[in-house]
Structure formats: structure tokens, C-alpha cells
């Protein structure tokens, strides 16, 4: 692995339409670029998506869905969003239009749902028309509860199946690491789930018909996956997840596989630095394609296919919250499922919670600043001089 550090320099402010937008000039090994603010004044922006008419949707973790139309953030949040558990790590998470949104107007939201004295990860869908969210239906509700680590990312595959990530809910580790709930696929602690668009379980899921295992589970042994994508060419499912103090991971997610948390990994206990894992590798457990020590607090995951940054085509992009950066990863040509190069981009830009390719081929980041205030920025290439 090769890490390339990148310096960034703010070059002032310019007028963009009726708004003032920061433009930060940045450099990389292959492309110079700038970060242009396209929506500001957001409260912990968590996810970004686009509708066929060009509207941008942004979720705010406290429980609001916002619309950016023609470059302007509409003043009022979308009505009809369900009540969220907006405490700690809880709140409104991902937003994802149905692949046939243009005809069915279906929109999917993941969020922390209040349940009893706690909360759980849930997914709903509803119709988004006239800037309102109506006719809500439950798609998924996790059986797991806890203090945090909700997961909450959504992704469609090419056959129209929906993937959902669920974290381990901060379940405690003990002397017998194999007894951790994330190692038990009879529950939803630390899993990815594969569903039909209405929430039904596909008949070809890996655990269908297996006694004592939840049939919707696609993979297990995860800690807190907050990035999820389906490769547009290969159809492979990829996820990044938070490690503890050290040990963030990028994983190729295969059906029925165990990804090892907390038995294997590269992290240590917070504060004390004492050992958590039995080893870094284990029989019957999948090792990551890439890992970070120290952690960058991964969030958001994208594979770039656009033409605005030709040298970045085929690269993974991973948001870093603790690292306040964007990581670019080059997949190996000779070793499928492995990474051969890492480049740190936009270091110091803020806590990057999401990274998406826009329909215009630019790269968009949902960035949180101090106090939870945030913005969406667009990365644009700048010709080198």
C-alpha cells in the first residue's frame, strides 16, 4: 500500500449565483481540484441522493429530509418523515430512491426508530410527491437494540434487491469473543441484510431454510458498517465499517460469510490500548481488503465511474470522520478484492459522512463541522498550470 499525503489551501470566497460559496483549492497525485459549497447551514448531514428531475435530497441526522433544487436549499424540511430517535448516534440516516422512482415515486429512508426504552435500526418506504413523504410502509426493523452502532446504509443491486447494514449496537465484548452477538446469525447484531423491495426475504439468500439463522441475513460478524455499495460493473457488494481504536475496514461482502468481529481485527480498546481480538486472521472468517490503523472513522463509500476525473475512474472513495479526510483507494488488478494504493484527499475538510457521485460526474461530500453544522460540497477538477 502507498499512502500519498495531499496538502490543501483555501483560496478565498467567490460568488455563486445568489449564494456565497467557499472554494478550496486542493491537490492530488493525479488531479488538482476545488471544493465548492452547494448547500450550507445543514445540521449533521448524513446522506445525499438525487432524483431523476435533478433535485438533490439530503438527510440531517436530527430527523429532517431536505431538498436542494436548482442550487438552492429549500427552507422547509420535507413533511412526513417518521419520528426518529435522535440521541447519541441515533437519528435519520440514509435516503435512497427506488430504481424505478420515475414511475413509482418510492423513496426509502433508514433511521433509528424509538422502541420501548431504546431504539433500533429501521427502514421505511413511501411516496415522494409534491415535496411530501406519504403512504409510509415498513420495509425492515432490526431485532437488535443498544446504545449506538446502528449501521443504516442502503444499496440496490442490479436485480432490484435491497441491502441494509446494521451495526453491532455496541454490544460488549467478553472473555469468550465467539459468544459476542455479532458472531450469532440468529440476531441482527452486526449484519448486512438482503431484502426484496417490499421487505420480503429473497428465496436465494444464503441462510434461507437454515435452522436458527435469520433468513434475511446476507453476512455477519460486522461492527458498524457505514458505507455500502454495489459495484456497477461486477455486481459485487462492498462495505466499510468502523473498527474500535484502530482497525477500520473495507470489505468485499460475500453471501453467508463471517467477517470476524470481535474475534479478529486490527483495533484495540479505547483509551487503554489493550487487546480486543484473538488474532488478526481466523479460520472461517473473512479478512478485509483494506484496513486503517489508526482509524479514520469510515463513513460513506463510492466507486467512481464518471469522466470529470479520468485518472480516478475505478477508484473507491471512503469518507473519514475522525480523520477529517477523503480516502481514495485503487483496487488491485492482479489480486481481485485487494487494494494496492491509498491517497489521502481533502485532509482537514471536516467530518466526511457521505461521498457520492452526482449525475453530472462530479463528486459530492456531506461534511460536518464543529457543533454539527454542515454542508454539501462538490469536488471539481482544476486544470494544472
Sequence length of the chain is 385
pLDDT at 336 over 90: no
Distance CA 297, CA 218 (A): 24
Q: What is the mean pLDDT of residues 21-34?
A: 80
Task: Give the count of alpha carbons within 13 A of 184, CB side only.
Answer: 13
As beta bridge partners, residue 371 has: none
Contacts of 124-130 with CB under 8 Å at 24 or more apart are: 124/82, 125/98, 125/197, 126/80, 128/51, 128/78, 128/97, 128/101, 129/105
pLDDT at 239 over 90: yes
Span 163-216, pLDDT tens digits: 999 999 999 887 899 999 999 999 999 999 999 999 999 999 999 999 999 999
Q: Are 226 and 153 in contact (CB under 8 A)?
A: yes
Q: What is the mean pLDDT of residues 48-64?
A: 98
Beta carbons within 8 Å of 77's beta carbon, 6+ residues apart = 60, 64, 65, 66
Residue 23 has a pLDDT of 60
Buried-exposed string 136-170: b where 16+ CB fall within 10 A, e elsewhere: eeebbebebbbeebbbbbbbbeeeebbbbbbbbbe
pLDDT at 339 over 50: yes
pLDDT at 380 over 70: yes
**How does residue 356 score in pLDDT terms, banded at 50, 70 and 90?**
very high
Distance CA 110, CA 230 (A): 18
CATH class, domain 21-382, is mainly beta
**How does residue 21 score in pLDDT terms, banded at 50, 70 and 90?**
very low
**Whole-model pTM?**
0.94
Q: What is the mean pLDDT of residues 214-242?
A: 97
Q: What is the mean pLDDT of residues 342-348?
A: 93
Q: How far is CA 198 from CA 50, 110, 349, in A?
A: 21, 14, 38
Which parts of the chain fold into alpha helices (H)? Answer: 101-104
Cell of 10: 483555501
Q: Are 241 and 249 in contact (CB under 8 A)?
A: yes
Q: What is the mean pLDDT of residues 13-34?
A: 62
pLDDT at 15 over 70: no
**How does residue 271 score in pLDDT terms, banded at 50, 70 and 90?**
confident
What is the rounded average pLDDT for all residues in the chain? 92
Find how far residue 233's CA is from the centre of its chain.
20
Could you confirm whether 211 is annotated as catalytic?
no
Domain ranges of the chain: 21-382
Dihedral sign of CA atoms 12, 14, 19, 22 in order: negative
Q: What is the mean pLDDT of residues 75-98?
A: 97
Can you tell me whether residue 299 is helix, strand or coil?
strand
Distance CA 222, CA 121 (A): 15
Span 292-327, pLDDT tens digits: 999 999 999 999 999 999 999 999 999 999 989 999
Q: Are 201 and 208 in contact (CB under 8 A)?
A: yes
Residue 4 has a pLDDT of 42
> Phi and psi at residue 332, in whole multiples of 5°?
-75, 135
Percent of the chain with pLDDT over 70: 94
Cell of 178: 465467539
Q: Are 291 and 248 in contact (CB under 8 A)?
A: yes
pLDDT at 265 over 60: yes
Q: Which of 31, 98, 149, 222 is catalytic?
A: 149
pLDDT at 285 over 50: yes
**Kind plus residue range of the DSSP H or E element containing 95:** strand 92-97
Q: Are 58 and 77 in contact (CB under 8 A)?
A: no
Can you tell me whether residue 311 is helix, strand or coil?
helix
Span 61-81, pLDDT tens digits: 999 999 999 999 999 999 999
Q: Which 8-state DSSP code applies to residue 312?
A: G
Residue 10 has a pLDDT of 36
- Which one, of 153, 50, 49, lies nearest residue 94 by Cα? 153
Percent of the chain with pLDDT over 90: 84
Amino acid at each position: 500500500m502507498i499512502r500519498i499525503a495531499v496538502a490543501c489551501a483555501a483560496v478565498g470566497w467567490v460568488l455563486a449565483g445568489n449564494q456565497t460559496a467557499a472554494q478550496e483549492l486542493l491537490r492530488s497525485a493525479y488531479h488538482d481540484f476545488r471544493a465548492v459549497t452547494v448547500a450550507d447551514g445543514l445540521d449533521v448531514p448524513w446522506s445525499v441522493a438525487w432524483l431523476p428531475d435533478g433535485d438533490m435530497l439530503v438527510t440531517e441526522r436530527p430527523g429532517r429530509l431536505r431538498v436542494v433544487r436548482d442550487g438552492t436549499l429549500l427552507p422547509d424540511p420535507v413533511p412526513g418523515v417518521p419520528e426518529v430517535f435522535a440521541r447519541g448516534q441515533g437519528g435519520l440516516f440514509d435516503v435512497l430512491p427506488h430504481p424505478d422512482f420515475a414511475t413509482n415515486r418510492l423513496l426509502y429512508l433508514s433511521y433509528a426508530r424509538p422502541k420501548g426504552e431504546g431504539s433500533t435500526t429501521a427502514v421505511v418506504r413511501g411516496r415522494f410527491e409534491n415535496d411530501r413523504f406519504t403512504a409510509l410502509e415498513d420495509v425492515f426493523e432490526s431485532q437488535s437494540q443498544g446504545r449506538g452502532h446502528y449501521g443504516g446504509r442502503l444499496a440496490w443491486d442490479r436485480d432490484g434487491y435491497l441491502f441494509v447494514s446494521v451495526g453491532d449496537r455496541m454490544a460488549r465484548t467478553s472473555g469468550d469473543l465467539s459468544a459476542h452477538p455479532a458472531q450469532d446469525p440468529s440476531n441482527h447484531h452486526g449484519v448486512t441484510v438482503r431484502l426484496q423491495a417490499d421487505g420480503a426475504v429473497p428465496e436465494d439468500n444464503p441462510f434461507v431454510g437454515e435452522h436458527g439463522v435469520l433468513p434475511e441475513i446476507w453476512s455477519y460478524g460486522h461492527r458498524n458498517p457505514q458505507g455500502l455499495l454495489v459495484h456497477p460493473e461486477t455486481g459485487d457488494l462492498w462495505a466499510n465499517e468502523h473498527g474500535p481504536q484502530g482497525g477500520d475496514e473495507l470489505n468485499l461482502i460475500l453471501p453467508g460469510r463471517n467477517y470476524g468481529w470481535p474475534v479478529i481485527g486490527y483495533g484495540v480498546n479505547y483509551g487503554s490500548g489493550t487487546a480486543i481480538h484473538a488474532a488478526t486472521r481466523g479460520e472461517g472468517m473473512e479478512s478485509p481488503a483494506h484496513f486503517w490503523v489508526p482509524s479514520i472513522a469510515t463513513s460513506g463509500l463510492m466507486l467512481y465511474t464518471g469522466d470529470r476525473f479520468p485518472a480516478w475512474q475505478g477508484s473507491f472513495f471512503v469518507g473519514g470522520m475522525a480523520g477529517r479526510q477523503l480516502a481514495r483507494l485503487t483496487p488491485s488488478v492482479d489480486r481481485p478484492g485487494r487494494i494496492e494504493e491509498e491517497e489521502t484527499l481533502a485532509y482537514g475538510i471536516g467530518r466526511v459522512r457521505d461521498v457520492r457521485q452526482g449525475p453530472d460526474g462530479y463528486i459530492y461530500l456531506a461534511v460536518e463541522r464543529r457543533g454539527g453544522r454542515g454542508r454539501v460540497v462538490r469536488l471539481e477538477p482544476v486544470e494544472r498550470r
